[in-house]
Structure 1
Amino acid sequence: MQRKLLLLPILLFALTEVSAQSPLSVEHIMRDPKWMGVFPSSPEWSDDGKTIFFKYNLEGDPTDSLYKINLANPSQITKVHWPEEKALARPQSDLNADQSQRIYRKDNLIMLEDLEKNTNTTLLEWHEPVTNLRFLANENRVAFNSSGNIYVFDRSSKTVSKVTNISSGSKPSSKDKSEEKITFLESENLKLLDVVRERKEAQEKSKAYRESIRDGFDEYTYYTQGKNLTNLQLSPDERFATFSIFTPATNKNTAVPNYVDASGYTEDLNARSKVGNSPSKVEIGIYDLTRDTVYFVSTSDLPGIKDLPDYVKDYPEKTWEEKERALTLSSPIFSPDGKKTILQVRAFDNKDRWITEVDLETGKLKTLDRQRDEAWVGGPGIGGGFGGGTLGWLPDNQHIYFQSEATGYSHLYLLNVGTGEKKALTQGNFEVFDPFLSKDKKSWYLTTSEVDPGERHFYKMPLMGGSMEKLTSMTGNNAVVLSPDEKKIAIIYSYSNTPAELYLQDNKAGAKAQQLTSGQSEEFKAYKWRDPQIVRFAAQDGAQVPARLYLPEPSKKNGAAVIFVHGAGYLQNVHKWWSSYFREYMFHNLLTDLGYTVLDIDYRASAGYGRDWRTGIYRHMGGKDLSDQVDGAKFLMAEHGVTPGKIGIYGGSYGGFITLVALFNHGDVFTSGAALRSVTDWAHYNHGYTANILNTPEEDPIAFRRSSPIYFAEGLQGNLLIAHGMLDVNVHFQDVVRLSQRLIELGKDNWEMAVYPVEDHGFVEPSSWTDEYKRILKLFNSTLLDQN
């Protein structure tokens, strides 16, 4: 009897270890997110700076609506009803240089708003739709596009002039119609009907007279020959117009079957093409308004235009043709006075970005800055293939600004286009986000990660560089919108365990932020959500890998661990703000309650850590990004008492891909895994994302072969759950269908698949989320915990 009593505490401890409880459940946390409360987004200021508008939902509407807070009564939140919201909208607007006036379109009227006097005046009534409404260098003149051409309205003379003559058709034949063959019917008509013949003769005489008095002058017309002309703009000095001719690639698109269409029939959803596309073509045209002629920008003199990538050395048997690479060109950006213009050019192979000055007289390019990356050019503020990113002019018409990863981190630069002198305005092992000029053009405002990779703060800096003044102080993410007079800032702020709320602060360092919203529901606040530790562990190559760590209470610890792999590849999830993966965050709290140790890693390729981290997976997805997961598992075993053989892994999209290669290549480390909406073969994914990292399957098959899970499926040892939405137009359901056939042919029986007929890549239905995560929890509980 004595012996039995001694064994009882041990038995009770073992039962407690297996059956730890949580106040949370999958059904609870995967409900419609409205149960959590209501949280603000997309703040905007009124023109007078007295009101903040934002998206919110106090009334349980099907979607967020526009709400407002008047600073005179900041405790009152009011819904903006449609008539007021419609009156606020000002499409096609532009501000003058000192931002005292705005032009905008209202129905068929072009309006002028005086922001200082708060008055609105009708400038012009126009009969056609209007786009690209802009002040010119002479602010008494306003340019706009209509019916495929540019018009200028002079506010002094009240006159409108058409400054371009562009036709979407083909140039007419020079052959005179009178020389054309007259048909039998026309000939007989002219013989039989005297009035018809007389009228035709009169028309021909009138035409001949008009042509005789023109002294041989023909009005110039540029014919696009049916090509797609876009981005038509007038230089501020009205000397040139520029435009883009876009010729889309003719690549085969894929189709995703919808088996649950309301029609009762299986309908195909049109989806993207696959990696290896032929490129779309962009040409930049220059319309010389003085010489009445059109010519195109020439790119053949760009330095390195024929450079081959380094990876060609891996294919010694192949002959590589030296030729000009395919390019994409952004729309030109004119200096404020219109005398100069810059143009961003990117190589279609993603290895080069050139910032160039355009000689508007000839179309030739002068390279101002070339950023070459043997992996791919990217990072915050760098922009994509068709432009975007940080690029523009200072008011002096001499300096341009842009961002570059020249030092390994994305920083803000100035360059004098006359002297070529380049100056870094920011520097250090941090990144810069969304810089913009102050209203008086004497300062920069910018967001950076200088304090910590897991924090974002708002700064002010002198125009030509100098000390940055930190304006926000709350630890976490401070997403700032500046008031029109720049005296106050609206902040969407969140912390690791606290969803976003709206704050108001004076625009000065050390000012205290005032919370304006408080949206958490009582049900959400009832649980004590964890503030996960941010740790770093050593990778096998010596890198320090950041991660979020969730530790259970010692009394609940069960020796098992789950590693979460975020999606997107280039995304940051180890930070001190509310995660976009909020469902997964709540699931991690549930797992921790149950005694699991949870690790969430910003593996190689994640955002927020500079160029080398971003490109660490070049030509080998499933390389360092996977070894970081393995090293994370070793860290848990060495430092946090996790038992070997009791580690699971899961994630969606890119995280699903990593889960697959983890189970296929490291079954000795990972016992179980849940691969959600996962890429199984990178040759079947899209071009824009995949070609950056792996090039193309035709040119670099080695990279695709060693990166695609389907080639390693024979290595599956542990327990695999595959889950995928059948309507996924991003990572197609076809991916897991092909993989499942491979697993069948390999004779694997330690896997299962859950399919979701009504879901796209991002699940929408709470029932789907619940089903998926119940399966994930069941997988981990049944395979990682001791079952007594």
Structure 2
Amino acid sequence: MLKSVHLLLSAGLLLALPTYAQKLSPLTVEKIMREPAQWLGTSPGNVQWAEDGKTIYFSWNPEKARRDSLYRLAPQGGTPRKVSLREQMSLPATSGEYDQRYTRKVYEKDGDIYLLDLKTQRIRRVTNTAERETEPQFALQERAISYTRGGNLFTWDPATGETVQRTDFRRGPRPASNEPIDKEEKFLKAQQLALFDVLRGKEQDARARQRQQKALARLRPKAIYLGQQTVRNLRLSPDGRYVTYTLTQEPSSEKVAIVPNFVTASGFTEDISTRTKVGAAQTAYQLGLYDVGRDTTFVLGYKELKGLDEQPAYRKEYQLKAKAPVPTDTSKAAAKKSTPATEQRRVVPYGPFWSDNGQQAFLVIRSTDNKDRWIVALDPATQHIKLLDRQHDDAWINGPGIGYDEGNVGWLPDSRRIWFQSEETGYSHLYTVDVNSGQKKALTSGRFEVQKAQLSRNRKTWYLTANKTHPGEQHFYSMPLEGGPLTQITTKPGGYEVSLSPDEKTLALRYSTSNQPWELYVMENKPGAQMRRLTHSTTPEFESYPWRAPEVISYKARDGADVYARLYRPAITQPQGPAVIFVHGAGYLQNAHKWWSQYFREYMFHNLLADRGYTVLDIDYRGSSGYGRDVRTGIYRYMGGKDLTDQVDGARLLAEKYGVSPQRIGIYGGSYGGFITLMGMFTQPEVFRAGAALRSVTDWAHYNHGYTDNILNEPYNDSIAYARSSPINYAGGLKGALLMCHGMVDTNVHFQDIVRLSQRLIELKKENWELAVYPVEDHGFVEASSWTDEYKRILKLFETNLRQNAAGANGTSGSSGGH
């Protein structure tokens, strides 16, 4: 082995290894890209408490099988035991709904509904049908269970066992009536009845049957015809008087992108239908309300919503460009005629959410352009809504506890105040609002994010996960119901995923650090209590290497913003050495933190690079999560703007502070990271000598609607944003060595994206690029052989172009390796 190390050193390929490396085999791509379960180990996941608090269940794979299995363990410790399939079938579902006193739980499992008594642990089966029942809830002041079947709402009474159908939704139009509709038809019918006794008798019989059917109909729910709409989210008011539901209307015809699958079991190419592209017509939503007592249906209107008719701020840029000359006719009539009608934006309703006493309800309403979220009180008797809170963002609404739907919301136990999260101050915090007075109160504040929030079962304490101590560090806190100081319960630096025991006296935690994968621990629900480890998941082979704990640093971007990053330094610093910048994917994701990264393969690759003398910088650029609203929306209308200059500023930091040669910096990343790599290689060729763009978006006009529309608006409404944000428009600037890798059955970023860019590079007569394709891979690679091939190419790209002997005096690029 010493001989092989000596040969690598003499070849200039292993510039720096730790002093203990001679006792260890060096990292290789083949080693770190193997199946994780086979050599790294599989961390416990999906941690859940048994309803009696005596057992912790979790997914695990210590036997290195093809997939994880369910295990159980007592909170006191011991040997984890695999749960048999028979035992799994008897366990309650982990999801479900509890009653207000936490004495019962209703849940759906395998398409049937069950009721669990939490004191006796007795399970009652509510349904046992071939048809699927879903969405169980406690109803009618918790005297009954409601659920949906076949698009209709049913209730079941535990006391009597009676099942009642509460709605009768029917697809298609209302059937046409047989009654005459015009004067001629009415005359002819009257004449026939006057002439023929047989017809008069049949008419009398028909009318008798109609009277009988109407009498029976009064005992059944009203037939509601949906036309081409569909219905979902059926909810019964606590007093049983109202049924609310969401009506959805799908676009009539929208073209869907097709992804061909070439490597199939059949031997024939098979087409995968995926999605529409950004700007396509979207589903329309309405909130319907069935007044059972009045046997009448309504569709809720939103005229009272403040700001519903306000147009997005970005449109002013286009309005100024398209401003028409002042008309010569200055009369009021002419001026009125030339003013376009105000267009109301479309919205999506969520809820209603009923108070504990069943007397009040609220809705969360979001505009479909995601620039507004309203919380409103709802009076179902009058269909009137009252504004309680409006969160507006010229960019888009999102953030921890807010998301793209109703977010983290609920009622306080007084049935008078609603709680919710908002980025009103620039960071996601917890608020309450009084439905009667409209008074709003912030329960938390500061330059940190409340990332998760839940009320204790006795409704007296908040439990929060927040990054209060450091943006890259998560801790678990408690706080009084009315707000106040946060009491920190966990103390060790790292990241935590916490599950409270049913009595809330014990915490089951998944805990990790930046160089130690997730393991299962337990501790008392007390500040600073000792954590006891319950699992050991990593293998001796993985533990034989001293994995780095990367430094979490920060630096100032050119606009003064603080940018956080992970820094991997080589064991032996080489003056004017090479460096690589890694760009994480997803855009809105955090990776410069102190816990185990979901990019664990890249983390291991960065250790390999550092062993070989590279300095590696992993940046949480603008658009990343964990840093508040301004960082989150820093990419609005210009992806490849601040998110790219943050990488360029990081490259400058490497040269100025960490002794890296500015002519020997590479960049790589996947998905959004691949997009940034392309933008860097095309628009910053003097900064990045080589780049590997993996599964990259090359033209945002070809990506999906849900993600892209929030950031760049619609391509036909904001063409400027798309033109400056899409790498394909800058391909002429390529100078360095570019490697592109893409899965051919990628249903997220379609293979078509990279094919279009390849054709553009061909037409531009660019030669210093290559494309590696992976015929069986979707967006997230699965096969170890694909990971290995991809990262061997990435390593060769950097070794060929960033080594000292590859750098020309004029900074021109070398070969990308010729794969």
Task: Tell me, yes or no, whether TM beats 0.5.
Answer: yes
Q: Corresponding residue for 1:615?
A: 633
**What one-letter code is carried by the residue in structure 1 that aligns with 2:387?**
T
Q: Corresponding residue for 2:68?
A: 64
Unaligned 5+ segments in structure 2 are 1-6, 186-196, 324-339, 807-819
Aligned in 2, Cα 1:338/1:207: closer, same or farther, shift over 3 Å? farther
Match of 1:710 among 688, 706, 728: 728
Match of 1:44 among 48, 55, 77: 48
Q: Is the 8 A contact 1:91 1:105 kept in 2?
A: no
Unaligned 5+ segments in structure 1 are 1-10, 182-196
Match of 1:399 among 383, 398, 417: 417
Q: Corresponding residue for 1:98?
A: 101
Aligned in 2, Cα 1:752/1:151: closer, same or farther, shift over 3 Å? closer
Establish whether residue 257 from structure 1 lines up as the match of residue 256 from structure 2. Answer: no
SS in 2 for 1:592: helix
Establish whether residue 381 from structure 1 lines up as the match of residue 401 from structure 2. Answer: yes
More displaced 10-residue stretch of structure 1: 436-445 or 556-565: 556-565
More displaced 10-residue stretch of structure 1: 46-55 or 351-360: 351-360
Q: Is the 8 A contact 1:256 1:732 kept in 2?
A: yes
Match of 1:232 among 231, 234, 247: 234
CA distance in 2, matches of 1:646, 1:105: 57
Q: Is the 8 A contact 2:141 2:358 kept in 1?
A: no
Aligned in 2, Cα 1:202/1:119: closer, same or farther, shift over 3 Å? farther
**What one-letter code is carried by the residue in structure 2 that aligns with 1:378?**
N
Match of 2:376 among 336, 347, 356: 356
More displaced 10-residue stretch of structure 1: 349-358 or 707-716: 349-358
Q: Corresponding residue for 2:817?
A: none
Q: Corresponding residue for 1:247?
A: 249
Q: Corresponding residue for 1:170?
A: 173
**What one-letter code is carried by the residue in structure 2 that aligns with 1:314?**
E
TM-fit CA distance, 1:142: 3.0
Q: Corresponding residue for 2:207?
A: 208
Match of 2:566 among 507, 527, 548: 548
CA distance in 1, matches of 2:741, 2:211: 77
Establish whether residue 33 from structure 1 lines up as the match of residue 29 from structure 2. Answer: no
CA distance in 2, matches of 1:554, 1:362: 74
CA distance in 2, matches of 1:328, 1:178: 39
Match of 1:651 among 656, 659, 669: 669
CA distance in 2, matches of 1:127, 1:647: 61
Deviations 1:97-149 (A, max 9, x none): 11112345678986543222333456777796433332235333333334443
Q: Is the 8 A contact 1:18 1:558 kept in 2?
A: no
Please give the residue correspondences for 1:256-335 in structure 2 after superposition, counting only pairs within 5 Å: 256-315=259-318, 316-318=320-322, 322-335=342-355
SS in 2 for 1:702: helix
CA distance in 2, matches of 1:171, 1:520: 63
SS in 2 for 1:651: strand
CA distance in 2, matches of 1:318, 1:298: 33
Q: Corresponding residue for 1:757?
A: 775
Q: Is the 8 A contact 1:416 1:422 kept in 2?
A: yes
More displaced 10-residue stretch of structure 1: 491-500 or 259-268: 259-268
Q: Corresponding residue for 1:675?
A: 693
Match of 2:447 among 429, 438, 443: 429
Q: Corresponding residue for 2:759?
A: 741
Q: Is the 8 A contact 1:535 1:546 kept in 2?
A: yes
CA distance in 1, matches of 2:493, 2:564: 18
Q: Is the 8 A contact 2:565 2:618 kept in 1?
A: yes
CA distance in 2, matches of 1:605, 1:755: 29
Aligned in 2, Cα 1:718/1:52: closer, same or farther, shift over 3 Å? same
Aligned in 2, Cα 1:176/1:77: closer, same or farther, shift over 3 Å? same
- When the two structures are aligned, how many residues end up with a matched partner? 759
CA distance in 2, matches of 1:558, 1:589: 19
Deviations 1:406-450 (A, max 9, x none): 000011111101000011111101111221111111111111111
Establish whether residue 475 from structure 1 lines up as the match of residue 493 from structure 2. Answer: yes
Please give the residue correspondences for 1:532-681 in structure 2 after superposition, counting only pairs within 5 Å: 532-554=550-572, 559-681=577-699
TM-fit CA distance, 1:331: 3.2
Q: Is the 8 A contact 2:169 2:223 kept in 1?
A: yes
CA distance in 2, matches of 1:346, 1:525: 49
Q: Is the 8 A contact 1:538 1:544 kept in 2?
A: yes
Deviations 1:625-659 (A, max 9, x none): 11111110110100011112111111111111111
TM-fit CA distance, 1:207: 4.2
Aligned in 2, Cα 1:153/1:677: closer, same or farther, shift over 3 Å? closer
Deviations 1:646-700 (A, max 9, x none): 1111111111111111111111111111111111111111111111111111011
TM norm structure 1: 0.91
TM-fit CA distance, 1:357: 1.5
CA distance in 2, matches of 1:593, 1:318: 58
CA distance in 1, matches of 2:589, 2:770: 29
**What one-letter code is carried by the residue in structure 1 that aligns with 2:235?**
Q
Q: Is the 8 A contact 1:164 1:289 kept in 2?
A: no
**What one-letter code is carried by the residue in structure 2 that aligns with 1:505?**
M
Establish whether residue 55 from structure 1 lines up as the match of residue 59 from structure 2. Answer: yes
**What one-letter code is carried by the residue in structure 1 that aligns with 2:392?**
R
Aligned in 2, Cα 1:202/1:86: closer, same or farther, shift over 3 Å? farther
Q: Corresponding residue for 1:7?
A: none
Deviations 1:707-765 (A, max 9, x none): 11111111111111111111111111111111111111111111111111111111111
TM-fit CA distance, 1:178: 14
SS in 2 for 1:629: helix
Percent identity of equivalent pairs: 50
SS in 2 for 1:75: strand
Q: Is the 8 A contact 2:575 2:660 kept in 1?
A: no
**What one-letter code is carried by the residue in structure 2 that aligns with 1:413?**
Y
TM-fit CA distance, 1:165: 3.7
Q: Is the 8 A contact 1:563 1:599 kept in 2?
A: yes
SS in 1 for 2:577: coil
**What one-letter code is carried by the residue in structure 1 that aligns with 2:753?**
D
Deviations 1:552-600 (A, max 9, x none): 1236666110010111111000000000000000000000000011100
CA distance in 2, matches of 1:263, 1:301: 57
CA distance in 1, matches of 2:791, 2:665: 17
Q: Is the 8 A contact 1:257 1:269 kept in 2?
A: yes
CA distance in 2, matches of 1:314, 1:106: 52
